Structure 1
Amino acid sequence: MADSERAEEMQENYQRNRKLQEQLHKVRNQVVGPFEIFRFADILDIILMILGLLASLVNGACLPVMSLILGEMSDNLLGGCLVKTNTTNYRNCTQSQEKLNEDMIVLTLYYVGIGVTALVFGYVQISFWVMTAARQTKRIRKEFFHSILAQDISWFDGCDIGELNTRMTDDINKINDGIGDKIALLFQNMSTFSIGLAIGLVKGWKLTLVTLSTSPLIITSAAMFSRIVISLTSKELNAYSKAGAVAEEVLSSIRTVVAFGAQEKEIQRYTHNLKDAKDVGIKKTIASKLSLGAVYFFMNGTYGLTFWYGTSLILSGEPGYTIGTVLAVSCV
């Protein structure tokens, strides 16, 4: 009778542990939405994020406006002195020195003003987003710790206890990196592209369309490598969590390990998990740098295409195209 009851109890424990493993597998593979990750933000965090977002948009607008002013400065310095070869008629190049100095001083002041604006709003966008990221991740750590303490004792049979400490540090640090200054830079780049595109279409739509022809290459390369880096980052975190679980297990029972002379065996276990993390980390670094190199390659190629086609439009006498137009469109 006792044996049958014990067998039933073991069967129940087995079924319960199996269900817990399935739940843990589903949770680990669950994808969190872009807005759901900010559910731990309070009123102050929302205010900081809104102010940081506005500062990012203003800071992002500085680069295309700066390119526009740089184009105006270039046109003023040239003074419309584009003449045909073997021509002695320079009437279009007559511009008073005083007028040129006045225009250049005004444009220089604009340039300085844009620089000060970028300095102030750049500091605001980074500091506010980093501040709210630190506040939210601190709250996430508290909720995670409280959630662990509130679990039933059978829940710990289906997970590695030593892995929880690593999850609470490394994984949450990844969240901190993801919702910190990177969000500010994302909105800054979106603002730069939107305003630069508007300026380019107004100043020279033909040159702008040619410049945008390479954007699918940039987007495709960035998206492809981004998926690879995300996958490798997940594998790296799992490897480090396993290594942390081994270290936690050994240190918590160090006397038993020394008594049985199992130091070398535990070192090999720990080294094996670290080797997996190192290999994945190397692959992730290579993938991220290849992604960055591909993006910069296509971007610099786009600049070359813009200056080449812009020069062709100027030499062909296309109305409205000057050196300043090419410089203004290049910010797209």
Structure 2
Amino acid sequence: MKESCNLSTTTESEEKNNGKNNPAASVGFFELFRFASRQDSVMMVVGGVCALLHGAASPLMLLVYGMMTDTFVAYELEVQELADPNKTCQNNTIWWINQSIYVTPENTTMDCGVDIEAQMTMFAYYYIGIGLGVLILSYFQIALWVSAAARQVQRIRKTYFRKVMRMEIGWFDCNSVGELNTRISDDINKINNAIADQVSIFIERISTFVFGFMVGFIGGWKLTVVVIAVSPLIGLAAGLMAMAVARLTGRELAAYAKAGAIADEVLSAIRTVAAFGGEDKEVERYDRNLEEAQSWGVKKGSIIGVFQGYLWCIIFLCYALAFWYGSKLVIETKELSPGTLIQVFFGVLMAAMNLGQASPCLEAFACGRAAASTIFATIDREPEIDCFSEEGHKLDRVTGDIEFHDVSFHYPSRPDVTVTLRWHYSGYLAGGRI
């Protein structure tokens, strides 16, 4: 049996060696859940509903807090009025002792007879109910999302490792084993952070944002509209930060993967390195690759710091605007009661604050998407030679001589170098597949 052939293979890494860097396609957020089963989807939906209800608990508490504030104010006014011995409380209305009804300077009557103890007991029951509800919802919110994420990450690790084992040997010529180790540990952990409890926390904070504004509109739409006018500045900053972090995180992960590949290469051959006294050289090579990762990390940290400061600056400016305009609505126009002002003020500011606090979750999503782009690209790649393939005709017994004459090929990492060999094998072959 005689064969003569010319072999030439090309991979993505060859294009990089030729100066054509093709970054991995961006992974959409919902593509991170591509390995979710039906049970995982149900768990995430139930956990999302729990997070949604959990986020609504704080604005609901503000409704109770607003009513409680009005009760305290009414009781204090009643005490002040009844301190006059010429006034008395009859049929829940303040009267003069001469049996004429008391009229305020605003030409209105004044209620009395507030049972402060019974009212506070009722509000305490409300708070206990909200607290128990939050305890249960918060547990299921986190537990379901983390459990679903753990199941999906397990499938991702198995699929990624199996696909790596299926790759042809030329693929490993362009991908270091150390880099693959970094991918299967650090990068997949970043995917886990992006699809686990951070998602439930993000849903919770967005829910608080929405319900907080609903509480504001119910209590006083004028003050709510004034504060909403500033909210787009917060959303714009959060979006820009997520885009910048996603890009810089991808480059940072690639740099760390290169450094990890060098460390794995040196440690696996430490005897050879020590025999030739190459410790200092390898340390310098490792440090040189870490400097690139450090540079991208510093840039990412600077951008996060700037945008975080910007977000909180806008939030505190919202505080100042709401206090100034809200006081006018209470004192001058009397459109709001003190309790309603507290309800609207803290509801809107709580909504704005939770929108700002959702930005760290966006950072985790951006990191997960950047890490998934490389992991999923490897999973989706079809090997040129699939060792697990069952296609073709498998021979039970093969005997004869095999000779290769003038066989030439290129290593994927060195496409410009042609390798020519002559090889002869004579003997018995078994289990061959053609």
> Deviation at 1:276?
2.5
Q: TM-score, normalised by structure 2?
A: 0.67
User: Does residue 154 in structure 1 map to residue 174 in structure 2?
Assistant: no
**Distance change (3 Å), C-alpha of 1:159 and 1:15:** closer
| Aligned-residue offset at 1:70 | 0.8
In 2: Cα distance, 1:174 partner to 1:156 partner: 24
Cα RMSD after superposing both structures: 2.7
Q: Greater helix percent: which structure?
A: 1
The partner residue of 1:278 within 294, 301, 317 is: 294
- The answer on whether the counterparts of 1:130 and 1:181 sit within 8 Å (CA) in structure 2 is yes
Gaps of 5+ in 1: none
> How big is each residue's C-alpha offset from its partner over 1:30-61, in whole Å with a ceiling of 9 and x where there is no partner?
11122221111123311221111011011000
Partners of 2:299 and 2:12 in 1: CA distance: 38
Distance (whole Å) between structure 2 residues aligned to residue 75 and residue 221 of structure 1: 37
Alignment partner of 1:313 out of 325, 329, 351: 329
- Residue pair 1:242, 1:273 contacting (<8 A) in 2 also: yes
C-alpha separation in 2, matches of 1:16 and 1:67: 57
Report how many aligned residue pairs link the two structures. Answer: 317
Question: Per-residue deviation at 1:295?
Answer: 1.7
Alpha-carbon distance between aligned partners in 2 of 1:31 and 1:193, rounded to the nearest angstrom: 29
Q: Of 165, 177, 183, which residue of structure 1 is paired with 2:199?
A: 183
Given candidates 319, 335, 340, the residue that maps to 1:325 is 340
Partner AA of 1:326 in structure 2: L
Letter in 2 for 1:95: C
Distance 1:229-1:81 versus aligned 2 partners, 3 A rule: same
Q: Identify the range of structure 1 (284-293 vs 299-308) with the bigger mean alpha-carbon deviation.
A: 284-293
Amino acid at match of 2:70: D
Q: Does 1:95 align with 2:90?
A: no
Residue 51 (structure 1) aligned with residue 46 (structure 2): yes
d(CA) in 1 for partners of 2:209, 2:17: 46
- Cα offsets for 1:278-312 (capped at 9, x unmatched): 33323323332332232222122212211221111
- 2:108 is the counterpart of 1:113: no
Residues 1:40 and 2:6 are matched in the alignment: no
Answer yes or no: is 1:195 the counterpart of 2:211: yes
The answer (yes or no) to whether the contact 1:141–1:168 under 8 Å persists in 2 is: yes
Higher strand share: 2
| Partner of residue 271 from structure 2, selected from 242, 248, 255 | 255
**One-letter identity of the residue aligned with 1:201:** F
Residues 17 and 206 of structure 1: CA distance in aligned 2, closer, same or farther (over 3 Å): closer
Q: 1:21/1:184 Cα in 2 relative to 1: closer, same or farther (>3 Å)?
A: farther
Assess, with a 3 A threshold, how the Cα gap between structure 1 residues 21 and 35 changes in structure 2: closer, same or farther. farther
One of 268, 271, 284 as aligned partner of 1:268? 284
Structure 2: how far apart are the matches of 1:163 and 1:189? 36
C-alpha distance after superposition, 1:53-85 (max 9, x if no partner): 0110110000111111111111111018789xx
Query: Shift of residue 16 of structure 1?
Result: 8.3
Deviation at 1:20, TM superposition (A): 8.7
Q: 1:170 to 1:15 in 2, by over 3 A?
A: closer
Q: TM-score with structure 1 length normalisation?
A: 0.87
Which residue is 1:207 aligned to?
223
C-alpha change, 1:225 and 1:273, in structure 2 (3 Å) is same
CA contact (8 A) 2:69 2:338 kept: yes
Give yes or no for the alignment of 1:296 onto 2:291.
Answer: no
Give 1:29 shift. Answer: 2.3
Letter in 2 for 1:137: V
2:26 and 2:331 mapped to 1: Cα distance?
54
Maintained 8 Å contact 1:81/1:90: no
Q: Which residue of 1 aligns with 2:14?
A: 18
- What is the aligned partner in structure 2 of residue 69 from structure 1? 64
One-letter code aligned to 1:276: E
**Local SS of the residue matching 2:39:** helix
What code does the residue aligned with 1:76 have?
A: T
Partner of 2:35: helix, strand, or coil? coil
Work out the CA distance in 2 between the residues paired with 1:30 and 1:132.
26
Shift of residue 162, structure 1, vs aligned partner:
2.0
Correspondence 1:237 to 2:260: no
- For residue 390 of structure 2, what is the aligned residue in structure 1? none
Instruction: Measure the CA separation in 1 of the matches of 2:145 and 2:17.
Output: 36
Is residue 68–residue 327 contact of structure 1 (8 Å, CA) maintained in 2? no
Structure 1 distance, partners of 2:128, 2:21, is 55
What SS class does the counterpart of residue 29 from structure 2 fall into? Answer: coil
Asked if 1:223 is matched to 2:239, the reply is yes
Q: Secondary structure at the match of 2:277?
A: coil
Distance, in Å, in 1 between the alignment partners of 2:123 and 2:183 is 53
**Which deviates the most, 123-132 or 48-57?**
123-132
Cα 1:16–1:204, aligned 2, differ >3 Å: closer, same or farther?
closer
Contact 2:15 2:21 in 1 (8 A): no
For 2:168 and 2:17, locate their aligned partners in 1 and report how far apart those are by CA, in whole Å.
14
